[in-house]
Amino acid sequence: MDNAPGFAFQILQSVFVVLAAPLVMGWVNQCRARLQNRSAPSLWLPYYTLAKLFHKDAVIARDASPLFRITPYILFGCMWLAAGIVPVLATGLPFAPAADVIALVGVFALARVFAALAAMDIGTSFGGLGARREMLIGFLAEPAMLMTMFTAAFISGSTQLTTIVDTLAHREFAIYPSLAFAALAFLMVLLAENARIPIDNPATHLELTMIHEAMILEYSARHLALIEWAVAIKLFAYMTIGFALFVPWGIAEAGNWAALPLAFAALAFKLAVAGAGLALIEAVLAKMRLLLAPEFLSTAFLLAVLGMLIHFLVSG
């Protein structure tokens, strides 16, 4: 195989993402607990939770169709694939040409559709309610996400994430107002898509305003574990997309083993800062009423469009 180092990097990255994602979740939870003056849970708590869930016997509703059973695996697969495409540790990975940013958004959309279908499959009121809210958020967040990606794509002249990272990481330093707008829009989309405050509260069960939790109420044991894990990977993937678009420095190239320690260090630093920042946002903001969510996301869309327009204006 002529691209053996590339594949080694790809496998390394994919395994690393899956194993490290719960750690990031634990870090965010720990930061948030500290900011709220609670005694912080262990950094490894998400792993214990996953292990506990995997050891339990699954309970499935009598009327559940096969769709309900396979959805956790699809969710996990989608998120894993997404994490394989995003340049987390290195650019130029063999999987990277498989999907550009548009297809990446498509992968997330596929996961969302299956999650919503499975939520409606059982026929409980909470499931249907959660699915409808999730689709509402999704259809508003997706255009904002795409516009954000397009801004970076216009600057670097490609929709391939790996090319974008290469271009942005190796350019001479310049202030891009358009990228600042896009970064703000991306942050808002990240909060909405990952069911964080102010759109959804990840820490509640059985509350009338919940979105994500309402969809997965019927899941238990290994299915629930897979979904929780997929959620952690999704957060990880979104954070690394953000790094790829806006702070791409320190990333290695596929096959370059010497640059790998630096790439790990840079990634760990960026994740630590981003996790703490996310916890800070969640600590200072209050959850929005659901009816205000369209306004929040249309603001994100507006920012992304403005970023793109200003790019044309300033460079033209």
Partner 1 sequence: MSLASQLVNLLAALLLLIAFAMLSQRRILTLIHLFAWQGAALAASTFIVAYSTGQDHLYFSAVLTVVLKVILIPWVLHRLIDSLNVKWDVETLINIPTTMLLGIGLAIFAFALAEPISQMADTLTRSTLGIALASVLLSFLMMIVRRKAVPQVIGFLAMENGLFLAATSATYGMPLVVELGVALDVLVGTFIFGIFFFHIREQFDSLDIRHMEKLKED
Binding site for partner 1 (CB under 8 A): 174-175, 177-178, 180-181, 294-295, 298-299, 302-303, 305-306, 309-310, 312-314, 316
Shortest Å distance, C-beta 314 to partner 1: 5
Q: Report phi then psi at 124, rounded to 5.
A: -80, 155
Q: In angstroms, what is the C-alpha Rg of the chain?
A: 19
Q: CA angle, corner 9, sides to 7 and 14, nearest 5?
A: 95
Give φ, ψ of 253 to 5 degrees. Answer: -105, 150
Burial (CB count within 10 angstroms: exposed 0-12, middle 13-18, buried 19+), residue 175: exposed
**Minimum separation from the CB atom of position 249 to partner 1 (A):** 19
- Of 207 and 295, nearer to partner 1 (C-beta) is 295
Element (H, E) at 205: none
DSSP alpha helices (H): ranges in 177-292? 177-193, 212-215, 221-246, 260-284
Question: Which is closer to partner 1, CB of 133 or CB of 212?
Answer: 133
Least CB distance to partner 1 at residue 138 (A): 17
Q: How far is the CB of 299 from partner 1 (least distance, A)?
A: 7
165 vs 306, beta carbon nearer partner 1: 306
Helix (H) or strand (E) holding 76: helix 66-85
CB of 179 to partner 1, least distance (A): 10
Q: Helix 101-121 to helix 66-85 angle, to the nearest 10 degrees?
A: 160
Report yes or no: 222 and 135 within 8 Å, Cβ to Cβ. no
Nearest-approach distance from CB 274 to partner 1, in angstroms: 23
Least Cβ distance, residue 302 to partner 1 (angstroms)? 5
| C-alpha separations of 146 from 92, 117, 141, 239, 304 in Å | 22, 24, 9, 16, 9
- State which residue, 110 or 302, has the beta carbon closest to partner 1: 302
Q: Which is nearer to partner 1, 179 or 254 (CB)?
A: 179
For residues 117 and 111, give the distance between their C-alpha atoms in angstroms, rounded to a whole number: 10
Burial readout 49-64 (b: 16 or more C-beta within 10 A, e: otherwise): bbeebeeeeeeeeeee
Q: How far is the CB of 153 from partner 1 (least distance, A)?
A: 19
Contact by Cβ (8 Å): 219, 100: no
Give the span between the Cα atoms of 302 and 316, in whole angstroms.
Answer: 21
